[in-house]
Amino acid sequence: MLKITDLHVSVDGKPILKGLNLEVQTGEVHAIMGPNGSGKSTLAHVLAGREGYEVTRGSVIYQNQDLLELAIEQRAQEGLFLAMQYPVELPGVNNLTFLREAYNSLRRSRNEKDLDAVTFMKLVRELARQLELPDALLKRDVNSGFSGGEKKRNEILQLALLAPQLAILDETDSGLDIDALRIVASGVNALRSPERAMIVVTHYQRLLNYIEPDVVHVMIDGHIVRSGNKSLALELEDRGYGWISEEAVA
Amino acid sequence: MNSQLERQVWFEETVALNDKAIIDSGFPWLEAMRTEAKESIRQLPIPNRKQEAWRYSRPEKLYEHAYFTPINPVTALDEDDIVSWVYPESESYHLVFANGFFVPGLSTLNLDKGKLHIGSLREALVTDPAAIANWFAQSQWHKSDIFTALNFALMNDGLYIYLPQDTRLDKPIEVAYLSFNLEQPVSAQLRSLLVLDAGAQASLIEHFISTGNSDYFASHVGELFLGQNAVLNHYRLQNESHQAHHLSRVSVRQHTASEYRSVNIAVGGAWSRADIQVRFTGPQATCDIEGVYTAGDEQYSDFHLDIQHDQPACRSRENFRGIIYGKGQAVFDGRILVAKDAQKTDALLTNKNLLLSEDAEVDTKPQLEIYADDVKCGHGTTVGRLDPDQIYYLRSRGITESVAQRMLSLGFAEQILEHTEDEQLHAAMARLISSQFAK
Amino acid sequence: MSTTTKDLQQLIEVGYEHGFVTDIDADTLPPGINEAVIREISARKQEPQWLLEWRLQAYHHWQGMREPNWAHFRTPQVDYQAISYYSAPKKVGDGPRSLDEVDPQLLETYNKLGIPLDEQKVLAGVAVDAVFDSVSVATTFKQTLREAGVIFCSISEAVREHPELVQQYLGKVVPYKDNFFAALNAAVFSDGTFVYVPEGVRCPMELSTYFRINAANTGQFERTLIIADKASSVSYLEGCTAPMRDQNQLHAAVVELIALDDASIKYSTVQNWYPGDAQGRGGIYNFVTKRGDCHGDRSHISWTQVETGSAITWKYPSCILRGDHSVGEFYSIAVTRGKQLADTGTKMIHLGRNTRSTIVSKGISAGEGQNVYRGLVRMSPRAENARNHTQCDSLLLGDKCGAHTFPYIESRQPSADVEHEATTSKISEDQLFYCRQRGLSEEQAVHMIVNGFCKEVLKTLPMEFAVEAQKLLNVTLEGAVG
């Protein structure tokens, strides 16, 4: 589904990703772990197509197309979703209006008609109920004045609503208390399916207790330095990142 | 570019050409003031770059041809020509003015209950001349502003609202000022006079609209008097033809503890300008003036606010947002003056602008003049683009860039509109703004 | 008005510690301005023909101009024929070759002002050029600077020694047609400072000019020209004082800064001209045109000013951000008391891409003082991704003063961001009570609060002068609390 080969990315002329390789198959859940500044979030944003990230070398093939050639919204319409670490606030933009526009944009890209308002409302309400997201938040402006936990749940609501083929979760656990973490994780788990792949970017192992990965990668200084199964995550929890950096250098 | 002389000639000719169409009010005091206004037109300087009030734009195209005051009130109109009502007639009083004349056939009539009056100024001059003489042209604006003087010289009618003490209207008043060209370009000059006695409360919605898309000249001078504890909610929805020239002057006088709340939406006109002046005549009054303006399509849009705190313990809030796109230009000038003895003044002005195109321009000028120390005053202004992070967020959800821009721009305006709780009114204002950059 | 305020109002008296007169033999031209006077100034300074012609062009242009007439505030009546346009200490002659040739009485004057010119006593690491009435009397540390390749001398000397540099840059940033006072200055400027920092050189010490008006009925029309060549940097400071006199005296200087690619200029001013007495008699009219051209890419010009003196100040140190990625800054503290009027601010003209500007203006009004911030931020169509942030804060001490803010913002570039914010406040009774309850005197409390209010600007001054400026603020506000 996704094949990243020798990816080099710079921000403001400073290299962040330095030859990253990663392959994700349909149905798999990959966790990418690593210390702060290792380039995890950069990878997530490059895949989503954010401006300001300069790909200096390498390729990203997503569902047999050159992902890097696609505009941000085209990637989304092709089924790539990024749940952001810091969901931006959109004052004045009603959450429901936004969700509906996003949902129908995807339908339009598949040459489907817009979903009628009543059916759409039912769909959103049901998803919101599952994520324990109060109805009132749907009526507010997107993320405006939401708590950290509410913002993250709003991200997962969009994930569920837009039902992507590849979901990237960027530090979705950061800033969540244990209850919110449980809700978010069960929302994500409900979306696991043989047709869908996920990349879970996280600093801590904690989230992986709830969302069990098939593969765990450790990223340091712009490379994936080690990959393994979920026991690698536990080992990291135990020993930190230091020993891997040393091994990587050695 | 017109020469100074040509402009001078334009003003005097506009007065002379339309002289026959101006109906003698029959009141010597009013006609004497009209003569005074005509004299002002000869004396006052024509707007030019060196006048601070006209620093950024002057209505140069206005002077290119003559505008004519229609001789007869327009009658060939029906209800379908007024599409902008927020509420049906069962829920608001409807009043229609067309090309400078009251149109009784389309207006809610028989609103005179005792001293209360809602209707034509010209009719009220006959029924209650003393009251009008007391209030009319008290702002004396025609002595300092040539366009107000011109309005005075050419106006035949206007709106008159008088609410006696403690009157609370059961419904809002909606007024439509309709302008459109006949065989020749039309000059539509109107006044409005609102007097709210102590404790009276009202909601007034004014629509400045047009049928068709022609170059007429609409000017409106409003004088509002709020008695002690009076409350006025005032909505001004300016949606003139994109070819037209629109000029409004609003003068508000607020007595002790009165409240003036106003929302101004301006989307129309090739050239439009609104000057809003607030003077406090008693302490503890508050005014809250908000607005959204859009300019694109080679439009010019201008707001000049002038809030003068001459009394202690008054509070004023001004909050305007502009969306400028295409080849639009917007000007915002917001002045707050706090006089020497106006202690405990609380005044804050905010102006934010979105500049969406390479060919657009914004000029903004907030001003504070403060002569008292125990005050809380400030202003904040921004000019900028849409936040790239917000655009990215929307696009990452599959929304195209142009739709994202539109959603965010409307969201930007919404942050003013959301203060209006009434859903119908809120929706009407939102529609007006979103109609401007459809696509 | 509270009782506290009343008591404090009575304390207000305008003291000025630099108000003495130096009794020195001066060579002064009779009052009046005409072509002959300009020729005489030029002749005394042995100027080349091109400079005389430039002066005369400026003079003829000036004759056709009118004095600016700001709205709202009093406009001074200046009789331009009653001013003497040239006054020089007699013994100085052609200018001293070394400090030994400087009149000891002059050295004493500067010592009194706290500006020792004797190199053994000078402020460490600061080179000083002293301008007395119309001419430069001494420049210190010349040798050290010469070794670094830095030219730091009076502008008269620069005209003689480095005519090609002067001719290339003089009047290029502030043309004589710019405004009434710039034209007058170009016609009659007597002296001033010239700085050239060659490519790649970081000027090894702070440069400083000290201006002193002494003679009665004279104007001071100095001209400063600072050129920072590619990748060089320089920090420059000017200070000003004048004796107490009943008559108003005119100070109409012009300062031009040019920063080429990657160069940086920091220009700091502590202006303490005589402000006039409590009744508003006398004092300096300080009408100065200061402008910097961020000519090169990544160039940087920073203005810092502490304005406590002068009867009337009109001054708008500005930056033309021409080079891509260039940076302009304006940090200002202006204090008015008595009947002073300070009308000051800046213009940031963004022409290049990714240009940045920051404006921080702190106005403090006391007594019957009026403080005005007047500024312009312009984003031209080419100024992609340009940014400006402006913060204007006013502090009112007493109910007879005024604080006014008139910013103009003009943008024609959609990717540019401009933010302007202004606030007005007073020192609250609560704040004073709190401080006094903790044992501070009212004046201490006010000084503390005022210094806090000004901190953002003070910290941009070079260390040696930040302390001095802070002291000056305290002295200025002595008793001016309300």
Structure token digits, residue B439 = 């696509």
Residue C186: name the closest of C255, C268, C87 by CA. Answer: C255
Question: What pLDDT is recorded for position B409?
Answer: 96
- Model pLDDT for residues B332-364, shown as the tens digit of each residue: 999 999 999 999 999 999 999 999 999 999 999
Average pLDDT over residues A162-189: 90
C37 Cβ neighbours under 8 A, 6+ residues apart: C29, C85, C86, C188
- Which of B397, B412, B414 lies nearest to residue A76, judging by beta carbons? B397
pLDDT > 90? residue A162: yes
Stretch (H or E) spanning A122: helix A117-130
Q: Give the separation between CA C330 and CA C319, rounded to whole angstroms.
A: 9
Q: Give the separation between CA C344 and CA C335, rounded to whole angstroms.
A: 11
Distances (CA, A) of B394 to A7, A51, A158, A160, B311: 26, 13, 11, 16, 48
- Model pLDDT for residues B57-86, shown as the tens digit of each residue: 889 999 998 999 988 766 677 777 777 899
**Tens-digit pLDDT string for chain B (439 aa):** 568 888 999 999 999 999 888 988 889 999 999 999 999 999 999 998 888 999 998 899 999 989 999 887 666 777 777 778 999 988 999 999 999 999 988 888 766 677 889 999 998 998 888 889 999 888 889 999 999 999 999 999 999 999 999 999 989 999 999 999 888 899 999 999 999 999 999 999 999 999 888 999 999 999 999 999 999 999 999 999 999 999 999 999 999 999 999 999 999 999 999 999 999 999 999 999 999 999 998 999 999 999 999 999 999 999 999 999 999 999 999 999 999 999 999 999 999 999 999 999 999 999 999 999 999 999 999 999 999 999 999 999 999 999 999 999 999 999 999 999 999 999 999 999 999 975 4
Q: List the single best residue of C357, C410, C427 to mutate versus B (max B Cβ within 10 A).
A: C410
Question: What pLDDT is recorded for position B186?
Answer: 94
Q: Annotate B135-144 with b (16+ C-beta within 10 A) or e (fewer).
A: bbbebebbbe
Shortest CA distance from B389: residue in chain A: A88
Q: Is B419 on the interface with A (CB under 8 A)?
A: no
ipTM: 0.91
**Tens-digit pLDDT string for chain C (482 aa):** 333 333 334 333 446 666 666 666 667 788 889 999 999 989 988 899 999 999 999 999 999 998 887 656 666 778 888 888 887 765 544 444 455 555 666 666 656 655 555 554 445 456 667 666 556 666 667 778 888 899 988 888 899 999 999 999 999 999 999 999 999 999 999 888 899 999 999 998 888 887 766 666 667 788 999 999 999 999 998 876 666 666 778 889 999 999 999 999 999 988 888 888 877 788 888 899 999 999 999 999 999 999 988 888 999 999 999 999 999 999 999 999 888 999 999 999 999 999 999 999 999 999 899 999 999 999 999 999 999 999 999 999 888 899 999 999 999 999 999 999 999 988 877 777 777 777 777 887 888 888 888 888 988 887 777 777 887 787 777 765 54
Question: What pLDDT is recorded for position C5?
Answer: 39
Confidence of residue A250 (pLDDT cuts 50, 70, 90): very low
What is the number of other CB atoms lying within 10 angstroms of the CB of residue A97? 15
Distances (CA, A) of B360 to B383, C381, C384, C411, C414: 12, 9, 14, 8, 8
Is C187 within 8 Å of C62 (Cβ atoms)?
Answer: yes
- Model pLDDT for residues A205-237, shown as the tens digit of each residue: 888 889 999 999 999 999 999 999 988 888 888
Question: What pLDDT is recorded for position C229?
Answer: 97
A142 beta partners: A90
Cβ contacts of A73 on chain B, cutoff 8 Å? 395-401, 404
Stretch (H or E) spanning A138: helix A135-139
Q: What is the largest CA-CA distance in chain C?
A: 69
Q: Give the separation between CA B129 and CA B266, rounded to whole angstroms.
A: 34
Question: What pLDDT is recorded for position C93?
Answer: 44
Q: List the single best residue of C394, C408, C427, C429 to mutate versus B (max B Cβ within 10 A).
A: C408
Distances (CA, A) of C356 to B28, B363, C341, C381: 62, 19, 30, 15
Average pLDDT over residues A39-50: 93
Q: How far is B420 from chain C (nearest CA, A)?
A: 26
- For chain A, what is the total number of helices (H) and then of strands (E)? 9, 12
Q: Is B427 on the interface with A (CB under 8 A)?
A: no
Q: How far is A109 from chain B (nearest CA, A)?
A: 9
Question: What pLDDT is recorded for position C1?
Answer: 34
Neighbours of chain B (3+ CB pairs under 8 A): A, C
Q: Is A82 on the interface with B (CB under 8 A)?
A: yes
Q: Is B115 on the interface with A (CB under 8 A)?
A: no
- Exposed, middle or buried, C438 (CB in 10 Å: 0-12/13-18/19+)? exposed
Question: What pLDDT is recorded for position C3?
Answer: 34
